[in-house]
């Protein structure tokens, strides 16, 4: 039996924070294709160009532009939507940006979580809530095996630490307010995602795309750092699976790692070389490791055994195909093609993969 059945979402009222971002745009596309009634709440799209704008997904949902730090505005949108399912993606997601603006990072990632949980607490409509965090919530020992859900939470930099705090806030609300309430709550910790439509700064695949556009080499800050890379559809379908299954059986609520298999944990340099191979040349890269750069983890990966044993989940696209799909999407975009159609094709391809 397949672990994911989108029929569950047909007609469901779903509230997505951070819907104008890279992951949020793909998530809303999946949900609207499934027939969900989607309301998004987020700041304006964080990049130019933005996937949210070029995908046209806004026409199939209710898009509310607002700040998760603004509780009154968030609650007004939430009260209007009366969602059954809440997926919390809104965040300041960039490590290096968190060094520049730590207070804003904590305000968004911690108090934003408090605010959305307050909305859930004050409304009886919600049956399932999922807080999306990151693999960087763990105290990183730079060890060679994957972190498990029971490892200590203590992210190093302001971004990672703020997401650790977001986890703790969620756990407190579960213990204090949601036990025996009929609301199932989980957190999901995902690794680095790649895919078409990511235009963010300080991310390696968008840097590769910009190099293709300009024909200039890219500087790679951490070519020897190992990360758990996965196509963006991998964690998004896992989030939807968790939200669905805990809605059906509250005993499944908890916290889950959503990471790729060991074979997909590669160095940044290897990832760039794979992109070059799939693209067919056209750019090069330079090792620009900075001696005085802000701290970033050198080795980090997740153990997703809990997700696999609980739900029968398995990654569908390994790193080779994930990069190939990213290149395919990018070629369509650079040619001025049908972005919405390409996203639909990739989602249908993903759903059509082997269920074993």
The model's pLDDT over 226-246, given as tens digits with 9 standing for 90+, comes to 888 999 999 999 999 999 999
Do the beta carbons of residue 202 and residue 97 sit within 8 Å? yes
Question: Residue 292 above 80 pLDDT?
Answer: no
Query: Three-state SS for 303?
Result: coil
What is the per-residue pLDDT for 197?
97
CATH architecture observed for domain 11-194+229-263+295-318+337-351: 3-Layer(aba) Sandwich (3.40)
Axis crossing angle, helix 112-121 with helix 158-173, rounded to the nearest 10: 20
Omega prior to 258 cis, within 30 of 0: no
Q: What confidence category does residue 1 fall into, taking pLDDT thresholds of 50, 70 and 90?
A: very low
Q: Is the pLDDT of residue 265 over 60?
A: yes
* Tens of pLDDT, residues 36-45: 999 999 999 9
Lowest mean pLDDT among 167-181, 267-281, 322-336: 267-281
**What are the strands, taking DSSP E only, across 24-103?**
37-42, 62-65, 85-88
Average pLDDT for the chain: 92
In angstroms, the Cα distances linking 96 to 22, 81, 232, 295, 296 are 18, 34, 21, 9, 9
Residue 221 or 88, more confident = 88
Higher-confidence position of 294 and 62: 62
Q: What Å distances lie between residue 17 and 41, 138, 167, CA to CA?
A: 5, 23, 16
Separation CA 74–CA 84 (nearest Å): 16
Q: How many CB atoms lie under 10 A from the CB of residue 298?
A: 13
Q: Kindly state the tokens that stand for 147.
A: 């972190």
Question: In the numeric block, which tokens belong to residue 142?
Answer: 């730079």
pLDDT surpasses 60 at 346:
yes
Extents of the domains making up the chain: 11-194+229-263+295-318+337-351
* Count of CA atoms in the C-beta half-sphere (13 A) of 300: 23
92-96: average pLDDT:
89
pTM of the model: 0.94
Give yes or no for a contact between 118 and 176, defined as CB atoms under 8 angstroms apart: no
């Amino acid at each position: 039996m397949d672990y994911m059945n989108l029929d569950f979402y047909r007609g469901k009222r779903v509230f997505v924070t951070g819907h104008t971002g890279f992951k949020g745009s793909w998530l809303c596309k999946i949900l609207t294709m499934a027939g969900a009634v989607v309301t998004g709440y987020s700041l304006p799209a964080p990049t130019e160009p933005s996937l949210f704008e070029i995908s046209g997904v806004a026409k199939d949902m209710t898009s509310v532009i607002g700040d998760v730090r603004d509780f009154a505005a968030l609650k007004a949108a939430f009260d209007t939507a009366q969602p059954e399912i809440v997926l919390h993606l809104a965040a300041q997601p960039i490590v290096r940006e968190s060094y520049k603006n730590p207070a804003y990072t904590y305000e968004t990632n911690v108090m934003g979580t408090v605010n959305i949980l307050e909305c859930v607490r004050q409304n009886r409509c919600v049956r399932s809530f999922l807080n999306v965090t990151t693999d960087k919530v763990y105290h990183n020992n730079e060890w060679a095996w994957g972190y498990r859900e029971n490892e200590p939470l203590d992210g190093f930099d302001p971004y990672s630490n703020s997401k650790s705090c977001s986890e703790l806030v969620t756990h407190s609300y579960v213990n204090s307010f949601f036990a025996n309430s009929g609301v199932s709550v989980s957190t999901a910790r995902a690794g680095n995602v790649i895919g078409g439509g990511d235009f963010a700064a300080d991310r390696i695949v968008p840097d590769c795309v910009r190099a293709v556009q300009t024909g200039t080499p890219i500087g790679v800050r951490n070519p020897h750092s190992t990360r758990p890379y996965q196509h963006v559809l991998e964690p998004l379908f896992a989030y939807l699976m968790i939200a669905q299954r805990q809605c059906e059986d509250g005993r499944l609520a908890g916290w889950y790692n959503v990471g790729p298999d060991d074979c997909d944990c590669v160095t940044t340099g290897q990832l760039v070389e794979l992109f070059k191979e799939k693209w067919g040349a056209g750019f090069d890269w330079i090792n620009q490791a900075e001696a005085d750069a802000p701290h970033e983890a050198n080795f980090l990966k997740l153990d997703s055994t809990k997700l696999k044993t609980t739900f029968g989940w398995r990654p569908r696209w390994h790193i080779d195909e994930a990069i190939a799909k990213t290149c395919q999407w990018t070629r369509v975009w650079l040619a001025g093609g049908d972005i919405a159609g390409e996203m639909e094709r990739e989602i249908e391809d993903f759903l059509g993969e082997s269920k074993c």
